[in-house]
């Protein structure tokens, strides 16, 4: 585990904080599972990986989502239009009276809006362990909204949707779009729902790109964001991987330039594309521990060119699962949007600058990377955190995990990632000017009140104590320039600089 915050801050308390949260998560937050073992169980834990795969395509026929339909044209950044916009979305929890307890959950490339089970669709979703009462996205506190991405094939406008002007599926006529267009469509939905500001944007992979993008595009509407295994600018390595996937589909004769909906699906190309993608989603270390050079079941000797290793059969199975479960054109269009993604803006000299692009994103931010991620290497997440700090954001926390699941850790390693997300959702750190040029650290917690979920501030600063039931002892760490000192019922800190970790000694958010 690597945890970084602002320069000069000790990292040990933050690492200890996350480890403690992991233990609490295992005890309290998640339902029992035969696949979940203690994170320090060594070989036993790696063995458990074999039985667990992402639940991207659960949800049966994807019933139970809400459908937002706007009859007015939607204009893309490149100037092209579609005559109407449809966004499929699902929700969990309850929207409070002020409509300020919203978490916008932004999903990966191939995910539907079905992130978690609910009464309209009881099938488990792709982030089942993260959403619900007491879980990282706590539905006792927050109203969680998840959309199917623009360009997707699970209810939202995309190549497989019907063009109302022609009565036919868009196919190759669907406009090229950018990640920024996907985020803009999400905020059109928020406008429709009367939501002016979200408590947080939370996303991983493409969703993590969208969360950073939303913070940059709508800084007044995003109070904080969580970005997991993502980037602020695509790099050639990930572009190359996605290029190979696209070539697999486009080389299938049944693709027909993208207009295959009245004929055969380019199934062979889709199978191969998914196999290529799976290689980038997992890690070699995991597969070494899980498969090694073991032969597949029923194989006693090596002969011919058929699949003989377990890893070969595994990849073939992953490819087969995608046939008739995901639209090939959605992969092409969305992956192209990911390839072209960059939050750079021209600086004073006219040169592309990520610093310039992120300078408006001054809200608290949690950035998480995974060391074994080959699709979005950890230096990309570190780049987000470092650029935000350089731009002046004093509320940035960066976690780097050594999970062997690779890029899919955000789907499979809830014990490691869940507590970090929960910590970000429950605690918000602000810096406010105080006398003497010092700053005060403000820990806010989302606690339900009679009027809905609001924030009550627990001041942890010199001469001020939390009141009422929030008057508890807290401990944490700030830069070496500041020191903890006892102050009645609470410990307090004075600091010249950056935000640290505050941990309640009692259970709960605050």
- The catalytic residue positions are 205, 373, 407
The pairing of strands 200-204 and 225-228 is parallel
Q: Give the DSSP per-residue string, 16-33.
A: HHHHHHHHHIIIIIS---
Q: How far apart are CA 168 and CA 259, in angstroms?
A: 10
Q: How far apart are CA 394 and CA 442, in angstroms?
A: 13
Tally of CB atoms within 10 A around 158: 24
Structure-token pair, residue 21: 């949260």
Contact 455, 430 (CB under 8 A): no
Q: How far apart are CA 124 and CA 383, in angstroms?
A: 34
- Residue 353, CA distances (Å) to 192, 342, 409, 480, 492 in order: 33, 10, 30, 32, 39
Closest CA to 142 of 198, 183, 223: 198
**Rounded to 5°, angle at Cα 362 from 361 and 368:** 75
Rg (alpha carbons) of the chain, rounded to whole number: 23
């Amino acid at each position: 585990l690597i945890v970084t915050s602002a320069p000069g801050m000790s990292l040990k308390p933050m690492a200890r904080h996350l480890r403690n949260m992991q233990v609490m998560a295992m005890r309290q937050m998640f339902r029992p599972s035969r696949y979940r073992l203690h994170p320090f169980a060594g070989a036993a834990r790696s063995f458990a990986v074999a039985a667990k795969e992402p639940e991207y395509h659960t949800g049966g026929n994807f019933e139970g989502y809400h459908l937002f339909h706007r009859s007015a044209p939607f204009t893309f950044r490149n100037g092209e239009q579609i005559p109407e916009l449809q966004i499929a979305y699902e929700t969990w929890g309850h929207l409070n009276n002020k409509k300020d307890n919203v978490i916008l959950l932004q999903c990966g490339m191939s995910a539907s809006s079905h992130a978690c089970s609910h009464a309209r669709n009881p099938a488990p979703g792709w982030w089942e362990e993260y959403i619900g009462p007491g879980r990282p996205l706590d539905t006792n506190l927050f109203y969680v909204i998840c959309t199917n991405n623009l360009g997707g094939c699970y209810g939202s406008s995309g190549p497989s949707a019907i063009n109302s002007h022609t009565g036919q599926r868009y196919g190759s006529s669907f406009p090229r779009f950018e990640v920024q267009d996907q985020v803009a469509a999400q905020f059109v939905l928020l406008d429709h729902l009367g939501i002016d500001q979200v408590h947080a944007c939370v996303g991983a992979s493409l969703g993590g790109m969208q969360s950073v993008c939303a913070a940059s595009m709508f800084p007044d509407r995003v109070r904080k964001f969580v970005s997991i295994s993502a980037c602020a600018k695509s790099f050639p390595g990930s572009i190359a991987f996605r290029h190979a996937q696209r070539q697999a589909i486009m080389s299938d004769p049944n693709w027909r330039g993208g207009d295959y909906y009245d004929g055969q699906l380019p199934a062979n190309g889709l199978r191969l594309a998914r196999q290529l993608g799976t290689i980038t989603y997992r890690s070699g270390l995991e597969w070494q521990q899980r498969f090694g050079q073991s032969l597949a079941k029923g194989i006693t000797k090596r002969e011919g060119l058929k699949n003989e290793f377990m890893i070969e059969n595994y990849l073939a199975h992953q490819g087969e699962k995608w046939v008739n479960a995901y639209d090939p054109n959605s992969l092409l269009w969305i992956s192209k949007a990911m390839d072209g993604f960059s939050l750079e803006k021209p600086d004073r000299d006219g040169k592309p600058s990520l610093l310039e692009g992120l300078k408006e994103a001054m809200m608290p931010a949690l950035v998480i990377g995974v060391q074994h991620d080959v699709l979005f290497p950890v230096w990309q997440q570190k780049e987000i955190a470092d650029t935000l700090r350089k731009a002046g954001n004093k509320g940035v926390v960066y976690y780097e995990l050594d999970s062997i699941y690779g890029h899919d850790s955000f789907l499979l390693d809830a014990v490691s990632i869940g507590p970090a997300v929960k910590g970000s959702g429950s605690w918000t750190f602000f810096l406010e000017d105080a006398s003497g040029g010092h700053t005060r650290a403000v820990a806010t917690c989302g606690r339900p009140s009679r009027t809905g979920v609001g924030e009550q501030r627990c001041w942890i600063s010199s001469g001020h104590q939390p009141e009422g039931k929030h008057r508890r002892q807290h401990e944490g760490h700030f830069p070496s320039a500041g020191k903890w000192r006892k102050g009645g019922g609470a410990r307090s800190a004075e600091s010249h600089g950056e935000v640290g970790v505050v941990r309640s000694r009692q259970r709960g958010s605050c």
